[in-house]
Amino acid sequence: MGTLDKGIRFVIAIAIALVYYFNIITATRAYILIAVAIIFLLTSFINFCPLYTLFGINTCKVKK
């Protein structure tokens, strides 16, 4: 996973957490988005996205 991809995932996760914190989203929608935010944070910290492997996507630039 590339640096830009990790950064975007981190920013989206923080934005979702803030929206939840300020009670802009509630109920089931909030829980689904919080789950997505947790997944985004985990995948950005471990530098691996299982869906990318499944679809053959690689955002990491490899040095030659």
Q: What is the pLDDT of residues 4-63, one digit of tens each?
A: 989 999 999 999 999 999 999 889 999 999 999 999 999 999 988 888 888 888 887 776
What pLDDT shows up at residue 26?
86
State which amino acid sits at residue 40: F
Q: How far does CA 1 lie from the centroid of its chain?
A: 11
What pLDDT shows up at residue 63?
63
DSSP code for 22: T
Tokens in use for 27? 């109920």
Residue with tokens 């040095």: 63
* 4, 59 contact by CB (below 8 A): yes
Say yes or no to pLDDT of 64 above 70.
no
